[in-house]
């Protein structure tokens, strides 16, 4: 994919989202003493994740014939919830089928079943789920709502960057968790256009540094043999759309499992914010000292999601009690 996003693409997506989604808060954090750190609370989206922006951006842009044929998506959880919420926002008139693995957190599956979508749990792995969704798309002619590899999705996710730039025009560093890379692509396009000198820093778990390795090899690693990680929402390969926007990414930082766990607990204890591990990567980068502001300007960490399993959160809290 060579198509480049523009600021106009992200602004158009913002207009499509405006009737259904409010801007999320940008709140000062107490979890990094001595640093002007602010949290972009995408964990406070109606579905608990930024993924709803991309799904709604794409689905609201569909033509009448596409709407009749419906949409389908494969997801480990958060993206499926975004598709489901978008279907509800659009009046339940777009047939939506979401495929999730049998290993998906049951809390997310239970949420999914509250929306006007057909939920299909297929296969043990995400790859199995993708295969099932692709077969369904071929059979039905439905439109694929990919989690990141679509410019309409990436533009919708990029509205996070617009909101940060509008509320914090002096932001110096913007920390973005990276899985497939749609979010950082859209955010970088918007933020770089509106905030002179802003640094865009990608953060990944060291169990799955697919972006870092892709940059080293000079090609996007669409699949990646990730080791087990609590940040499973960002595990695996990156997309072509992220690689096409790599020139807008100033640095890639990887954090350890211990640093991620520390960040999840710190968000709750210091800021009263519930975040899943993937959503806490930015704070992990700051608290570990892997990122520090070079110029005293504010640092913004995008807290991408809050759908953490209660048992996991309990384990982390007890371990640090």
The Cα–Cα gap between 203 and 302 comes to 10
Q: What angle do CA 262, 267, 272 make, to 5 degrees?
A: 145
Give how far Cα 217 sits from Cα of 226, 243, 250, 253, Å.
17, 11, 17, 17
Which residues in the chain are classed under CATH 3.40.50.1100?
Answer: 7-49+151-319, 52-144
Domain at 52-144, CATH class = alpha beta
CB of 30 closer than 8 Å to CB of 216: no
Average pLDDT estimate for 2-24? 94
Q: Is 300 helix (H, G, I), strand (E, B) or coil?
A: strand
Considering the four listed CATH numbers 2.60.120.260, 3.40.50.10320, 3.40.50.1100, 3.40.630.30, the one that applies to the domain covering 7-49+151-319 is: 3.40.50.1100
Determine the Cα angle at 146 with ends 82 and 5, to 5°. Answer: 100
Share of the chain above pLDDT 70, in %: 99
Strand order of the β-sheet with 26-28 is 26-28, 37-41, 299-303, 173-177, 199-205, 251-255
- Supply 271's token pair: 């800021």
Quick one: pLDDT at residue 272?
Answer: 98
Q: What is the pLDDT of residue 53?
A: 98
CB atoms closer than 10 angstroms to residue 205: 28
pLDDT digits (tens, 9 = 90+) for 70-92: 999 998 789 999 999 999 999 99
For the chain, what is the mean pLDDT?
Answer: 95
Phi, psi angle pair for 153, to nearest 5°: -70, -45
Please name which of 174, 222, 184, 234 lies closest in space to residue 54, comparing C-alpha atoms: 184
Per residue in 124-151, pLDDT (tens digit) is 877 788 899 999 999 999 999 999 999 9
CA distance 36 to 121: 43
Mean pLDDT of 225-249: 95
Report residue 120: phi and psi, to 5°: -125, 115
**Vertex 44: Cα angle to 42 and 47 (nearest 5):** 90
Q: Which of 39, 48, 51, 52 is nearest to 280 (CA)?
A: 39
Q: Tell me, what DSSP letter sits at residue 278?
A: G
Residue 2 has pLDDT above 50, yes or no: no
* Both structure tokens of 89: 């926002």
| DSSP code at position 247 | G
pLDDT tens per residue, range 155-190: 999 999 999 999 999 999 999 999 999 999 999 999
Distance separating alpha carbons of residues 41 and 24, to the nearest angstrom = 6
For the cut 60, the answer to whether the pLDDT of residue 37 exceeds it is: yes
């Amino acid at each position: 994919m060579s198509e480049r996003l523009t600021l106009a693409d992200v602004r158009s997506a913002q207009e499509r989202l405006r009737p259904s989604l409010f801007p999320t808060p940008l709140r000062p954090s107490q979890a990094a003493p001595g640093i002007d750190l602010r949290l972009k609370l995408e964990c406070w989206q109606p579905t608990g994740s930024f993924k709803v922006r991309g799904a709604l951006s794409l689905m609201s842009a569909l033509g009448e014939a596409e709407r009749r044929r419906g949409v389908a998506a494969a997801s480990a959880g958060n993206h499926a919830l975004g598709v489901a919420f978008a279907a509800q926002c659009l009046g339940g008139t777009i047939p939506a089928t979401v495929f999730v693995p049998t290993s998906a957190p049951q809390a997310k599956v239970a949420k999914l079943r509250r929306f006007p979508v057909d939920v299909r749990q297929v296969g043990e792995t995400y790859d199995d789920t993708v295969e099932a969704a692709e077969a369904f798309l071929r059979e039905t002619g439905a439109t694929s709502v990919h989690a990141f590899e679509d410019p309409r999705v990436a533009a919708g996710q990029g509205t996070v960057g617009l909101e940060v730039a509008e509320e914090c025009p002096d932001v110096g560093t913007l920390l973005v968790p990276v899985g497939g890379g749609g979010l950082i692509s859209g955010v970088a396009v918007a933020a770089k256009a509106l905030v002179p000198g802003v640094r865009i820093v990608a953060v990944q778990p060291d169990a799955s540094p697919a972006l870092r390795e892709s940059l080293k090899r000079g090609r996007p690693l669409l699949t990646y043999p990730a080791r087990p990680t609590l940040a499973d929402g960002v595990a695996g390969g990156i997309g072509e759309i992220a690689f096409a926007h790599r020139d807008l990414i100033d640095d890639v930082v990887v954090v350890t499992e211990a640093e991620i766990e520390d960040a999840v607990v710190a968000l709750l204890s210091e800021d009263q914010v519930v975040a899943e591990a993937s959503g806490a990567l930015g704070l992990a980068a700051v608290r570990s000292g892997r990122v520090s502001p070079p110029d005293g300007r504010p640092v913004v960490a995008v807290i991408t999601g809050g759908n953490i399993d209660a048992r996991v959160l309990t384990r982390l809290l007890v371990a640090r009690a």
